[in-house]
Amino acid sequence: MTNAAPLIGFVGLGNMGRHMARRLAEAGHKLIAFDINEAACAEAAGHGMEIAGSPREVADRAGIVLISLPAPLVVREVLLGAEGLVAGTAVRLIIDLSTVGPALAENVAASLAARNIEYLDAPVSGGTTGAAAGTLAVMLAGPDDALARAEPLLAVLARSQTRVGPQAGQAQLAKLINNMLFGTHLVAALEAMAMGVKGGLDPTRLLAVINASSGRSYITETRIGPAVLQRDDQVRFATGLLHKDMQLGLTAAKESGARLWTNDSAGAFLSQAMEKGFAPRDYTAMIEIFEDWNGVSVLANPAQEQT
């Protein structure tokens, strides 16, 4: 007679977490999950997961718990609140897939260590598409034994795992730097496309020039075509989340004394977008701001595309 497979905990079944939890369940792991959204819990139950009534219940039943949550204050409450994971009797390792910033990661790691619970700083990149396909990139910071225990689970979720250091917070910093670059590339690409149309260029042909030349980036190669020129309106990554990551990055730079220029400008633009109500919309929807400023429409011309 063999022992039953151990329960794996998962807290946070939102746009990213629901895909990651599903992949773990489909890979044969037995999960107990929690989210405040009842519909998300019902979907998880449909994939064979047990549903807990609180984060603490998850941590009472599972030795390893993964979390994927949208904001630093939520992460703090889920980890350290009265009904949080820190109060659980079974949990010994928490894998934090959220983006919370270096300071909070360091703080919660110390608080959990006092309760003999290891914390693995493990933010991810790749968006909902990567979460669904299991092709995320995960940045890791933490002790060797935590990395070894987490590796088989992360292998189900990610195409790459990169350890950036031993201390909690170091992976957060790497993730924020990545997302700050993403944000600056995005803002630069959107304004450049609007500039080209303002000057009389066809946006489809301008994009072809950029993608065949040195100005290309992930944004121009994968997002401007479908999401801007075709305006597909799919929410891959909400503007509000990008703004949150940018602000966390700017705060980390200030705390370390690092001097910035372009990232400050991109952060200011994202703050304007938030004031204009773009928070729930996909980040590419911000092309509308440049269109309004320039009096142009950055849309593909179907007839032009065929010539």
DSSP 250-277: HHHHHHHT---SHHHHHHHHHHHHHHTT
pLDDT one-digit tens code per residue, 235-257: 888 999 999 999 999 999 999 99
- Confidence tier at 3 by pLDDT (50, 70, 90): low
In a domain, 239, yes or no: yes
| Same domain, residue pair 88 and 192 | no
Cα separation of 50 and 41, whole Å? 9
Q: Is the pLDDT of residue 168 over 90?
A: yes
pTM for this predicted structure: 0.91
- Confidence tier at 163 by pLDDT (50, 70, 90): very high
Cα separation of 211 and 205, whole Å? 10
In a domain, 1, yes or no: no
Q: Is the pLDDT of residue 232 over 90?
A: no
| Same domain, residue pair 149 and 256 | no
Q: What is the pLDDT of residue 212?
A: 98
| Same domain, residue pair 130 and 190 | no
| Same domain, residue pair 161 and 193 | no
**For 103, what's the count of Cα atoms within 13 Å in the CB-facing half-sphere?**
11
Q: What is the pLDDT of residue 234?
A: 85
Q: What is the pLDDT of residue 306?
A: 40
Instruction: Give residues with Cβ within 8 angstroms of 27, minimum separation 6.
Output: 156
| Same domain, residue pair 205 and 289 | yes
| Same domain, residue pair 159 and 202 | no
| Same domain, residue pair 149 and 191 | no
Cα separation of 124 and 62, whole Å? 22
Query: Distance from first CA to last CA of the chain, Å, rounded?
Result: 69
For residue 142, give the amino acid letter.
Answer: G
Query: How much is the average pLDDT of 82-87?
Result: 96
Q: What is the pLDDT of residue 1?
A: 39
In a domain, 2, yes or no: no
In a domain, 220, yes or no: yes
Q: Most distant CA pair in the chain: distance in Å?
A: 74
pLDDT one-digit tens code per residue, 98-138: 999 999 999 999 999 999 999 999 999 998 999 999 999 99
CB atoms inside a 10 Å sphere around CB 274: 16
In a domain, 116, yes or no: yes
Q: Is the pLDDT of residue 144 over 80?
A: yes
Q: Is the pLDDT of residue 78 over 90?
A: yes
| Same domain, residue pair 214 and 237 | yes
| Same domain, residue pair 207 and 75 | no
Q: Which of 125, 151, 166 is the last residue of a domain?
A: 166
Cα separation of 22 and 220, whole Å? 31
Sort strands 93-96 and 118-121 into parallel, antiparallel or unpaired: parallel
Instruction: Give residues with Cβ within 8 angstroms of 277, minimum separation 6.
Output: none
Q: What CATH number should be reported for the domain holding residue 254?
A: 1.10.1040.10
Q: What CATH number should be reported for the domain holding residue 146?
A: 3.40.50.720
- Confidence tier at 2 by pLDDT (50, 70, 90): very low
Q: Is the pLDDT of residue 302 over 80?
A: no
In a domain, 297, yes or no: yes
What SS3 class is residue 108? Answer: helix
In a domain, 127, yes or no: yes
Out of 30, 175, 244, 254, the active site residue is 175
Burial label for 273, CB within 10 Å (0-12, 13-18, 19+), is: buried
| Same domain, residue pair 160 and 214 | no
- Confidence tier at 195 by pLDDT (50, 70, 90): very high
In a domain, 291, yes or no: yes
**Domain coverage including residue 126:** 7-166
Is residue 244 annotated as a catalytic residue, yes or no? no
| Same domain, residue pair 154 and 44 | yes
Mean pLDDT of the chain: 95
Q: Is the pLDDT of residue 5 over 60?
A: yes
Q: Which of 166, 189, 209 is the last residue of a domain?
A: 166
Percent of the chain with pLDDT over 70: 97
Q: Which of 139, 166, 193 is the last residue of a domain?
A: 166
| Same domain, residue pair 190 and 242 | yes
pLDDT one-digit tens code per residue, 252-301: 999 999 999 999 999 999 999 999 999 999 999 999 999 999 999 999 97
Split into its structural domains, the chain has a count of 2
